[in-house]
Structure 1
Amino acid sequence: MALLRSARFPAIVLLASALLALVLANSPLGPAIAGVKETYLGIPGVFEMSVGHWIQDGLLAIFFFLVAVELQYELTSGELNSARKALQPAIAAAGGVLVPIAVYLLFAAGSDAADGWPIPTATDIAFALGVLALFGKGLPAAIRIFLLALAILDDIVGIIFIAVLFTDGVNVGLLALAALALVVFGFLSRQLDSRARLPIIVILVVLAIVTWVLVYLSGVHATIAGVGLGLVMAQQPALRARHELEPWVNGIVLPLFAFSAAFVVIPAVSPAQLSPAFWGVLVALPVGKIVGIALAGWLSLRVGNRGAAPHLTFADLIAAGALGGIGFTVSLLLSELAFAGAPLVRDEATLGVLAGSAISIVLAVVLITLRARHYRRTSPASRDEELPPTETHPGQIA
Structure 2
Amino acid sequence: MGAESAPRNKFFRRPSTLAERNFIADALRTETVGGALLLIAAVVAVVWANTGWSDAYQDLRDVRFGPAALHLDLSLSTWAADGLLAIFFFVAGIELKRELVVGDLRNPAQAILPVVAAGCGMLTPALFYFAVNTGGGSPDGWAIPTATDIAFALAVLAVIGTSLPSALRSFLLTLAVVDDLGAILIIAIFFTDSVNFLALAGAFALLAVFWLLQRRRVRGWWFYVPLALVIWALMHESGVHATVAGVAMGLLMRVVPDRGERTSPAEHVEHLVRPVSAGLAVPIFALLSAGVAISGPVLGDVFTHRPTLGVLLGLIAGKVVGIFVGTWLVARFTRAQLSDDLAWPDVFGMSMLAGIGFTVSLLISELAFTDDPVLTEQAKAAVLVGSVLSAAAATVVLRIRNNTYARLCAEENRDDDGDGIPDVYRTDADRLRRDKLA
Q: Secondary structure at the match of 1:340?
A: coil
Distance 1:119 1:175 in 2: 25
Q: Tell me by how many angstroms 1:94 deviates.
A: 2.4
2:57 corresponding residue in structure 1: 33
Retained in 2: the 8 A contact 1:8–1:133?
yes
Deviates more, 1:217-226 or 1:371-380: 371-380
1:85 aligns with 2:110: yes
Bigger Rg, which one: 2
> Residues 215 and 370 (structure 1 numbering): CA distance in 2 closer, same or farther, change over 3 Å?
same
Deviation at 1:382, TM superposition (A): 8.2
Structure of greater relative contact order (alpha carbons < 8 Å, 6+ residues apart): 1
| Secondary structure of the structure 1 residue equivalent to 2:195 | coil
The structure 1 segments of at least 4 consecutive aligned residues displaced by more than 6 Å after TM superposition are: 306-309, 381-384
Is 2:253 the counterpart of 1:229?
Answer: no
Query: Deviation of residue 97 (structure 1)?
Result: 1.6
Q: Distance in 1 between matches of 2:339 and 2:215?
A: 43
Residue of structure 2 equivalent to 1:55 = 80
1:256 maps onto 2:284 in alignment: yes
CA deviation map 1:201-235 (0-9, x unaligned) = 21211111111111111111111111111112323
Check conservation: 1:375, 1:382, Cα contact below 8 A: no
Which of residues 225, 236, 251 in structure 2 aligns to 1:216?
236
For residue 355 of structure 1, report the CA deviation from its aligned partner. Answer: 0.4
Q: For 1:97 and 1:174, how far apart are their aligned partners in 2?
A: 30
Shift in alpha-carbon separation, 1:36–1:123, aligned structure 2, 3 A: same
| CA deviation after TM superposition for structure 1 residue 288, in Å | 1.3
Among 353, 359, 363, the alignment partner of 1:333 is 363
* 1:42 aligned partner: 66
Question: Which residue in the other structure is 1:387 paired with?
Answer: none
> Structure 2: any 5+ residue segments left out of the alignment?
1-24, 256-263, 415-438
In 1, Cα distance between the equivalents of 2:276 and 2:339? 42
Mean CA deviation greater in 328-337 or 268-277? 268-277
Moved more, 157-166 or 181-190: 181-190
Shift of 1:189: 2.9
RMSD: 2.1
- Residue pair 1:128, 1:326 contacting (<8 A) in 2 also: yes
Q: Please say if residues 137 and 372 of structure 1, whose CA atoms lie closer than 8 Å, have aligned partners that are also in contact.
A: yes
Q: What are the Cα deviations for residues 190-210 of structure 1, in whole angstroms up to 9, with x where unaligned?
A: 4446xxx44xx2121111111
Q: Is it true that 1:182 corresponds to 2:194 in the alignment?
A: no
Please give the alpha-carbon distance, in whole angstroms, between the structure 2 residues aligned to 1:233 and 1:31.
43
* Cα distance in 1, alignment partners of residues 124 and 238 from structure 2: 33
**In structure 1, C-alpha distance between the alignment counterparts of 2:148 and 2:412, rounded to whole Å:** 27
Question: Normalized against structure 2, the TM-score is what?
Answer: 0.82
Query: 2:258 maps to which residue?
Result: none
SS at match of 1:90: helix
Superposed CA deviations along residues 241-296 of structure 1, whole A, max 9, x for unmatched, are: 11101111111110011111111223562766553222111222111111221111
| 269-278 or 77-86, which deviates more | 269-278
What amino acid sits opposite 1:252 in the alignment? L
Instruction: Count how many residue pairs are aligned between Structure 1 and Structure 2.
Output: 379
The match for 2:377 is 347
User: Residue 21 of structure 1 aligns with which residue?
Assistant: 45
Secondary structure of 1:266's partner? Answer: coil
- CA change 1:175–1:263 in 2 (3 A) is same
How does the TM-score come out when normalised to structure 1?
A: 0.90
Aligned to 1:104: 129
The equivalent of 1:392 in structure 2 is: none
d(CA) in 1 for partners of 2:244, 2:26 = 28
2:117 is paired with a residue whose SS is helix
Residue aligning to 1:295: 325
Secondary structure of residue in 1 paired with 2:315: helix
| Change in CA separation of 1:305 and 1:138 when aligned onto 2, cut-off 3 Å | farther
> How many Å separate the matches in 2 of 1:136 and 1:372?
6
After superposition, the Cα gap between the structure-2 partners of 1:307 and 1:4, relative to the gap in structure 1 and judged at 3 Å, is closer
Q: Which residue, 348, 364, 377 being the options, matches 2:407?
A: 377
Q: Secondary structure, in 3 states, of the residue corresponding to 2:31?
A: coil
**What CA deviation, in whole Å up to 9, does each residue of 1:99-122 have, x standing for no partner?**
211222222234352111111111
Q: What are the Cα deviations for residues 310-354 of structure 1, in whole angstroms up to 9, with x where unaligned?
A: 553221121011111111111111111111221111111101111
| Distance across 2 between alignment mates of 1:7 and 1:16 | 14
Q: Does residue 169 of structure 2 align to residue 136 of structure 1? A: no
1:324 aligns with 2:348: no
What is the identity percentage for the equivalent residue pairs of Structure 1 and Structure 2?
Answer: 40
1:356 maps to 386
Which consecutive unaligned segments of at least 5 residues does structure 1 have? 385-398
Which of residues 134, 158, 173 in structure 1 aligns to 2:183? Answer: 158
Distance in structure 1 (CA, Å) of the matches to 2:395 and 2:82: 32
**Counterpart pick for 1:70 among 70, 95, 102:** 95
Q: CA deviation at 1:64?
A: 0.8
Cα deviation digits, residues 20-72 of structure 1 (max 9, x gap): 10110111111112112112101244431111111111111111111111111
Aligned residue for 2:7? none
Is 1:9 aligned with 2:37? no
8 A Cα contact 1:175 1:218, kept in partner: yes
Deviation at 1:82, TM superposition (A): 1.9
Amino acid in structure 2 at the alignment position of 1:212: W
